[in-house]
Chain A
Amino acid sequence: MKRPPLFLRLRIHGEKRRPGCWLPLFILLPLAVALLIVLSPLILLAAIILRRRERRNRKVQLAGIVLRMLFSPGGIRAGFGLLCSTPGLRIDVSDNDGVFQISVI
């Protein structure tokens, strides 16, 4: 069964050891969705403005593409599917200089 991720475990440190942090995605994601719904009129307006200006700047171009994908018919469903596929993802890179660990639970 597909479910959104519950936690994101992040651990980044250099030579000096630091504890990792656990981000409770099951709290943060609903908050982000609520914020997205509240701000959706502004986002839609930004998408329209960026569409007119997007040929000038690459960053603006990228932001415009992301916004257009979010507001496309299948965009939200595909984005949610992508999010639900992340549990189990684990990236762990370590060497003498430090550690980078990210895992989605």
Chain B
Amino acid sequence: MAQNQKRILEMLANNEITLDEAHRMLGALEPDSATPDIPTREEARTVKARPKYLCVTVQPGPGHENDDDAERVNVKVPLALIRSGIKFASVLPRDVGDRVEDRLKDRGIGLDLRNLNPDDLDDLIEALADLEVDVESKDEKVRVFVE
């Protein structure tokens, strides 16, 4: 790029191009005008990483008497598995899907399996990046978060 700038200045010095033309040509060589959409390093730091896992942990609480006999749970589920699960639900045979929907409706859940769209989940998954649930009782400490 430096060579191009030097050549433009040489052309200007030799009166091969006018001042306005040199200005325009130098402007075209500016890195900012060529790639305006690339974020700076500071901007890139502020962009949140896309969450990949839903984690659930259960640890003994502060009031638990003996830590050795306490139940510990550590579950890490890839969010891609949820998306694939929805895709898999969409291939349910029609009559089976109807039966599942009827059962869910009986329990007060109105879910239309055919209208589930894995692409709509992306917004939900992005929103999950801020999810953090902490429940602490005397015996147990439950934490749900995404990472």
Contact = CB atoms under 8 A, between A and B. Distances in A.
A89 B72 contact: no
Interface stretch (A18-26, A34-42, A65-73): A65-73
Interface in B43-74: 52-53, 68-74
Given A65-B93, A85-B78, A92 B87 contact: no
B72 A72 contact: no
B78 A87 contact: yes
A84 interface: yes
Contact of B96 (A65, A81, A82): A65
A96 B94 CA distance: 46
B146 to A, nearest CB: 13
Interface string A16-53: 00000000000000000000000000000000000000
A79 interface: yes
B87 A81 contact: yes
Interface string A80-104: 0110111111111111100000000
Interface residues of A, number: 25
Interface residues of B, number: 25
A12 B72 CA distance: 15
Contact of A89 (B68, B69, B81): B81
Contact of A92 (B75, B77, B83, B96): B75
Contacts of A81: 84, 87-88
Contacts of A92: 72-75
A90 B76 contact: yes
Interface of A: 2, 65, 68-69, 72-75, 78-79, 81-82, 84-96
Interface of B: 52-53, 68-78, 80-81, 83-85, 87-88, 90-93, 96
